[in-house]
Chains A and B, each alone.
Chain A
Amino acid sequence: MTSPLPLGPAIDWETGRIELAHGSGGRAMAQLVDELFVAAFDNPLLARRDDQAQFAVAAGRMAMTTDSYVISPLFFPGGDIGSLAVHGTVNDLAMAGAEPLYLSAGFILEEGLPLDVLRRVVASMAAASRAAGVPIVTGDTKVVERGKGDGIFINTAGIGRIPPGVAIGGDRARPGDAILVNGTIGDHGLAILSQREGLGFATALKSDSAALHRLVARMLAAVPEIACLRDPTRGGLATTLNELAAQSGVGMLLHEAAIPIRPEVRTACDLLGLDPLYAANEGKLVAICPSARADRLLATMRADPLGGDAAIVGRVIEDPDRLVTIETGFGGRRTVDWLAGVQLPRIC
């Protein structure tokens, strides 16, 4: 791609760092945008270099979402902040049953950030966007002084088109409906914690970060009656189910033994005193559908590469208190509450 701008000296990608000039609106910024973002995200809408992307849309309902990504460390087993920023926003659109169309990307960079780190994050973001088939068509870059950021913050917004006939909402769960998840829970949360200084433990565990829109499209094609979809990110499965119960005015009853959890996630949680039900996921979804359609939905999910460990984990029940309850493997029941504050490792 040739640039229309007169450029300064070549950027030193190996040892260079982000300077305030990279966000000043001048030549350094134009050069960074051209050589890095436009080149990596490579699509005709972005290549026009206008202040906005222009496109036509078909008639019908649209979905729009935005999410900001702040994560430490920037690179973790199974992903990085760049791929996460694509997957998270694509998934937020997918949870409405929408077909994701376009993404925007806003970067807040800290002065001193190695350019090599930025280049790796952007390359990962571009790869995730290409793999998902959802281009990044407009963007923004700001630089904050050293000490006022944490390397990189990324905001992505997305828009998508909701196919006719799809009606998904958090208030649509009804007593009797089945509750499904597409695989093991807590993988992302514990993969991140394994990298944290002071808490570190060694594990082959990877983040489950993935774009779920193709899985959702298959699920909707097989079972158009899906009532609720939500991705249990921060706060984990427990928090997501409490949200859905509150919105729909129902209770939920889970079967503990049916919830897929990897042994290493369970053990890492036991070590740190955490509960996998509250651990974050980035490639998981909760689906609620009429019980008569649950087996078909389960089979569809299991046939997808992102749903191999899918399971029916419980059912929606009538409960004016809107509680999420779990049946332990021992015949007892306990309430699964909202997350109180932040999950912190315990000694006791």
Chain B
Amino acid sequence: MCLALPMRVIEFLPGEMAVAERDGIRKEISVTLVPEVAIGDYVIVHVGFALAKLDPAEARRTLALIAEMAAPGPR
């Protein structure tokens, strides 16, 4: 359900639109639903709309936690 892809906002366009980019793929999206978004932010793109911002600091925290949980060792 709800196929969505994280992309990065690189340019604002008129009419609450923006250009989002990932791996050389650029797509015009609506940012109506995330009014606080800024250039450089990561957003989840679903059916041409940014649905939510992604927090890079949280992404790093999750990866660190995963590394910790995956560490082999005595339990």
Which A residues are within 8 Å of any B CB, using their own CB? 201-205, 263-264, 266-268, 270-271, 273, 346-348
Contact = CB atoms under 8 A, between A and B. Distances in A.
Given A271-B45, A347-B47, A263 B24 contact: yes
Contact of B23 (A267, A273, A346): A267
Nearest to A272: B3
B24 A270 contact: no
Nearest to A198: B48
B1 interface: yes
Interface pairs A-B: 9 shortest CB-CB: A202-B26, A267-B23, A263-B23, A348-B1, A264-B24, A201-B27, A273-B3, A267-B25, A270-B5
Contacts of B3: 273, 346-348
Interface in B1-22: 1-3, 5, 22
Contacts of A202: 25-27
Contact of A348 (B2, B5, B24, B25): B2
A201 B2 contact: no
Interface residues of B, number: 13
Given A201-B27, A203-B26, A268-B25, 9 more contacts: A201-B26, A263-B24, A267-B23, A270-B5, A271-B27, A273-B3, A346-B3, A347-B47, A348-B1
A268 B47 CA distance: 13
A346 B47 CA distance: 9
Given A271-B45, A347-B47, A203 B24 contact: yes
Contacts of B24: 203-205, 263-264, 267
B47 A201 contact: no
B25 to A, nearest CB: 5
A273 B3 CA distance: 7
B9 to A, nearest CB: 15
A271 B44 CA distance: 11
Nearest to A203: B25
A78 B37 CA distance: 36
A115 B1 CA distance: 47
Nearest to A271: B5
A159 to B, nearest CB: 41
